[in-house]
Amino acid sequence: MNYPISEIVRLIKADNADLFQYTISELLTDSRSLTFPEETLFFALVTSRNDGHRYIDDLYRKGVRNFVISKDIENVEKMPEANFLRVHDTLEALQNLVAAHRKRFNIPVIGVTGSNGKTIVKEWLYQLLHEDYNMVRSPRSYNSQIGVPLSVWQINDATELAVIEAGISQPGEMINLEDIIRPTVGVITNIGNAHQEGFSSVEEKCIEKLVLFKNADSIIYNGDSPVIFDAVEKLCMGTREIAWSHRDKNSPLYIIKIIKNEASTTVKYSYLQYESEFTIPFVEDASVENAIHCLAVMLYLGKTSSEIAARMLLLEPVAMRLEVKEGRNNCLLINDTYNSDINSLEIALDFQMRRSGAAGMKRTLILSDLLQTGMMPSTLYRKVSQLISHKGIDRLIGIGPEISSCERFFGMETEFYVSTDAFLQSGGAERFSNELVLIKGSRDFHFELISEALELKQHETILEVNLDAMVHNFHFYRQKLKPETKMICMVKAFGYGAGSYELAKTLQDRGCDYLAVAVADEGAELRKAGITMPIMVMNPEMNSFRTLFSYSLEPEVYSFKLLNALIKEAELLGITHYPVHIKIDSGMHRLGFTEEDMLHLTEILKGQPSVIARSVFSHFAGSDEARFDGFSQQQIAVFKECAEMVQKATPQPVLRHILNTAGISRFTDEQMDAVRLGIGLYGISPLGEEKGLRNVSALKTTILQIKELDSDQTVGYGRRGTLARRSRIAALPIGYADGLDRHLGNRKGYVIIHGKHAPYVGNICMDVCMVDVTDIDCKEGDKVEIFGDNLPVTEVARWLDTIPYEILTSVSSRVKRIYFRE
């Protein structure tokens, strides 16, 4: 939906008179999620941990011009085109704006609340109903005081049904969410002990949650729950209820029988005296209860029993937030640090039990204090002890003051530490072998440090990365451009071998506008490491869509097959206006849409709400060679025509970019809206010598051992290393498994030791190579340069008749990266 800024001022009662006239379609509360700055309204929220006002300068530089504030802003004179809408409380302003937005629509809205199962019920309702309605639903778990407004803002004139999730942790919170959601139908899944500490009793929490449905037409809940049943009666909601029951045959929805099979469950029910049944491909009690809630909603909406049965059978599980990684000493790690309640612990333990390929492994659990349960520690950890014993845990490592104080309740092999730091400092990370390790804890305990320690790989070969040199190269190309031209920096292929995260963090701090990675997993790792700036994915795979959406990664789209599949997945997940980058094949003929494809492409873009073009781009075939300049100019002309057609099909401004590293230097006038900086960022010019660039990466190792050999001896496999004299041969701990090309062996190349050349002798081995140090004064432990400041990577590439890209990206991930600043 689009709102003129003047209308927003009126709705949030801001203190403003003179304004620049902008149109707003996007609301932003987290500066890391910026996508369309031109139409974004940023709410500078103030919390106990953060203050959104501190990000205004950076957002203005990135193109945002509209801000809702509650404090005075410094450097206003440096933001001459900005609107600052002054209010007393920015969160209240956000909620008031979206509450007014919601009142514009007279559609059915299903509100879902409860202690557990909210997200699953919401997602299953979408799976069951999206064929019949144009639906909006809360993204991910946007169920908070901030998340609910952002969810409801998605509703637009095309929306026919909305499913909105609402969660609370304190009394008095739900009344705000009720005014924003205004559900016509309410579902309360259950009432448990999660987030209990803010309430004096479970009953009080239940009544607070039911406030969400004070104006709803009907309420759906488990009538066999005495807490919910009594609360509904107390609030006089009984005349509007659909209270399903296993026990009361007079209930409108009576559950006659539940039949569990090995991999499915059949539910027989009676609704208004008509009997029927459905089957779901799940057996857990929670899944059955969630499915019955969905059944009640479908019956309320008039779906037939045959429709219900057919769709229930096709329900899919909601993705669990668990990561499985290889660990040290033949360990397998299951990383689940998303939340720490006892219900999610049980799910994670079930996942651990079912993990294939773990036969014979000891089952170990690393568990933090469980937060926000509302239970006394003694009661809670007795229950935890029973649970993990039942799930077959052999070894428990408890971290946190509460679980440590309850050591007496655990009967298996145990270790306890008051903090994550205490565990790491104890050397506990070194004492794992042949174990299936579940790492389960609250984010407050920073268990990612434990995961990193268990994955740690040590190697005597290192890649040194000079971050200051990279910053220098960034500014070297930046100064060639107009101030408003955006910089897209390529950190794909693990940052051209240099390691993505440190480079990305440095670029983010230096004002880079976009990062580009090759595949979704690379982008996900950057997000997990704290990178918040926009990230393009240049080669998205069909099976990576969930990763893209989960981590706000923006895919390149180069074919109709990929585009249609992406739209379908976005529709399935209820995602709208997701930014994508359209690739045009202007003559390179690798990937991309051709001129002939443009009419059909623009029809697709205009005909759906799921994805929207954030940029359109193309790639030169020979921008680094003058002999291809005519062809390059032809590519530019083709690209501009195609880009104009994409822009006409897209309401938001679309960025255009065709210049790569060579293009920045040779076709600077064609910089358009953005450029892509690749190999030049790492100190290598595709034009050959380009003064002003600095080397970024240096691959180094050490001498393991030195042997003196007579001239009749040979070195290495196949006796290929022959000697012409008595020689000193040094063994180095680097081989082709580290990325050292085997073709460098047998004196085709050399390394640098104390400034002198030491040629390779014999074949390069997997983990070791040998060099001739007869004429070099050196000893075991001395440093060796494979490539770097003294031996340019371009020279190594020349020996191998290849390009520097291949040398850099071939450095194995097992080689430790060392980052430094001068």
Domains of the chain: 3-89 (3.40.1390.10), 105-312 (3.40.1190.10), 323-455 (3.90.190.20), 462-682 (3.20.20.10), 697-820 (2.40.37.10)
3-state secondary structure at position 468: helix
Counting every residue written for the chain, the total comes to 822
Nearest-angstrom CA–CA distance, 53 and 101? 25
Contact in structure between 501 and 522 (CB atoms under 8 Å): no
Least reliable range by pLDDT among 200-204, 565-569, 727-731: 200-204
Query: Quick one: average pLDDT of 71-90?
Result: 93
Q: What is the pLDDT of residues 516-575, one digit of tens each?
A: 998 898 888 888 877 888 999 998 988 899 999 999 999 999 999 999 999 999 998 888
The H or E element that residue 523 is part of is: helix 520-528
Question: Which amino acid makes up residue 477?
Answer: Y
Structure tokens at 196: 């209990």
3-state secondary structure at position 583: strand
DSSP strands (E only) in 59-184: 66-69, 83-86, 109-113, 135-137, 161-165
As a whole number, the mean pLDDT across the chain is 89
Structure tokens at 685: 């010019």
Nearest-angstrom CA–CA distance, 487 and 431? 46
Structure tokens at 798: 């020349």
In the structure, what pLDDT confidence band is assigned to residue 337 with cuts at 50, 70 and 90?
Answer: low
Nearest-angstrom CA–CA distance, 729 and 760? 9
Residue 766 annotated as binding site: yes
Nearest-angstrom CA–CA distance, 18 and 210? 43
In the structure, what pLDDT confidence band is assigned to residue 752 with cuts at 50, 70 and 90?
Answer: very high
Q: What is the pLDDT of residues 389-446, one digit of tens each?
A: 878 899 999 999 999 999 999 999 999 999 999 999 998 888 899 999 999 987 678 8
- pTM, whole model, 2 decimals? 0.60
Q: Where are the alpha helices (DSSP H) in 278-433?
A: 285-300, 305-312, 342-354, 377-390, 401-405, 420-425
Measure the CA dihedral 381/387/391/392, to 10°. Answer: 50
**pLDDT attached to residue 749:** 94
In the structure, what pLDDT confidence band is assigned to residue 320 with cuts at 50, 70 and 90?
Answer: very low
Query: Quick one: average pLDDT of 102-108?
Result: 96
Q: Where are the alpha helices (DSSP H) in 75-146?
A: 90-102, 118-129
How many CA atoms within 13 Å lie on the side-chain side of 327? 28
**pLDDT attached to residue 458:** 47
In the structure, what pLDDT confidence band is assigned to residue 146 with cuts at 50, 70 and 90?
Answer: very high
Contact in structure between 516 and 539 (CB atoms under 8 Å): no
Q: How far is CA 671 from the centre of its chain?
A: 30
Q: What is the pLDDT of residues 487-531, one digit of tens each?
A: 999 887 555 556 567 788 888 877 899 999 988 988 888 888 778
**Alpha-carbon dihedral sign for residues 34, 36, 38, 42:** negative
Nearest-angstrom CA–CA distance, 506 and 478? 15
pLDDT at 198 over 80: no
Nearest-angstrom CA–CA distance, 492 and 413? 44
Q: Which residues are catalytic?
A: 492, 717
Question: Which amino acid makes up residue 407?
Answer: E
Query: Quick one: average pLDDT of 784-802?
Result: 93
> Mind spelling out the 3-state secondary structure of 752-807?
EECCEEEEEECCCCCCCEEEECCCCCCCCCCEEEEECCCCCHHHHHHHCCCCHHHH
Contact in structure between 152 and 98 (CB atoms under 8 Å): yes
**What whole-number percentage of the chain has pLDDT above 70?**
92
**Closest of 34, 35, 36 to residue 56, by C-alpha:** 34
**pLDDT attached to residue 30:** 86
Least reliable range by pLDDT among 334-343, 680-689, 722-731: 334-343
Q: Distance of CA 424 to CAs 247, 429, 454, 569, 622, Å?
A: 52, 6, 10, 41, 52
How many C-beta atoms surround the C-beta of residue 596 within 10 A?
8
**Closest of 779, 741, 778, 777 to residue 760, by C-alpha:** 741
Least reliable range by pLDDT among 110-124, 144-158, 234-248: 234-248
Residue 104 annotated as binding site: no
- The DSSP string of 612-639 is EEEEEEE--SSTT-GGGHHHHHHHHHHH
How many C-beta atoms surround the C-beta of residue 484 within 10 A?
9
**pLDDT attached to residue 334:** 83
Nearest-angstrom CA–CA distance, 566 and 719? 55
193 or 119: which leads in pLDDT: 119
Question: Which amino acid makes up residue 311?
Answer: R
**Using only C-alpha atoms, what is the Rg of the chain?**
31
pLDDT at 775 over 70: yes
For 569-589, letters b (16+ CB in 10 Å) and e give bbbbbbbbbbbbbbbbbbbee
User: Which residue is it, tokens 């049943």?
Assistant: 229
